[in-house]
Amino acid sequence: MKQLNKRISLTLKQLRREKGWSLDMAAEKTGVSKAMLGQIEREESSPTIATLWKIASGFDTSFSSFIENIDISSHQMKHGGKTRQLHPADEKIRVKTLFPFDAQLNSEIFIIELLPLCEHLSPPHQNGVIEHVIVAEGKMEVLANGKWQSLNKGDGLRFNANQEHGYRNRTNKIAVIHDIIHY
């Protein structure tokens, strides 16, 4: 967790430096308080998944740029590892970047585990962002266009992610989804 907080901190500082934004401007653009942004930069706080999405959207960058440091200069990539909890408050959801943001394809792919009785709401992403959710294991529900839709193993749903959306697992078994994000 400490390495992840350091990665998030360094990425946030670099993005602010590149844009020439003060903490006040970053807070205005992301909807995340100046105090919270400062705590993240000083590695005093780790952001929830929802907060990290707000920051990524405000900086018009990918979510994976904050959690992965993968060289994508080669067109061939194999990526493994385990899903991980990003923040103590996100105890029911684990994320793994399968393929980080690719500028040529304008997309990134995640594997997400929704633990039993998980409900995760996500803030709106930038206009034009499309999500594809494909259920690899179990059953789950997706909140899109203001209503919850049930999905079973093998089902998929594509929706505009520039609105509040969410993921829910009402069962006692882990649900695993592939989440493809197109910017």
N-to-C CA span, the chain: 27
- Is residue 16 helix, strand or coil? helix
Q: For residue 56, is it within any domain?
A: yes
100 shares a domain with 51: no
Q: For residue 165, is it within any domain?
A: yes
Q: For residue 78, is it within any domain?
A: no
pLDDT tens by residue, 64-99: 888 876 544 445 445 556 666 666 667 899 988 888
Q: What is the pTM of this model?
A: 0.75
Q: Which domain holds residue 45?
A: 2-67
What is the rounded average pLDDT of the residues 160-176?
96
How far apart, in Å, are the Cα atoms of 11 and each of 4, 18, 82, 136, 175? 11, 10, 22, 31, 30
176 shares a domain with 95: yes
175 shares a domain with 126: yes
What pLDDT is attached to residue 81? 63
Q: For residue 81, is it within any domain?
A: no
Q: For residue 72, is it within any domain?
A: no
128 shares a domain with 163: yes
What pLDDT is attached to residue 72? 45
Question: 7: domain CATH number?
Answer: 1.10.260.40
Secondary structure (DSSP) of 150-175: EEETT-EEEEE-SS-EEEE--SSS-E
Per the structure, the count of domains in the chain is 2
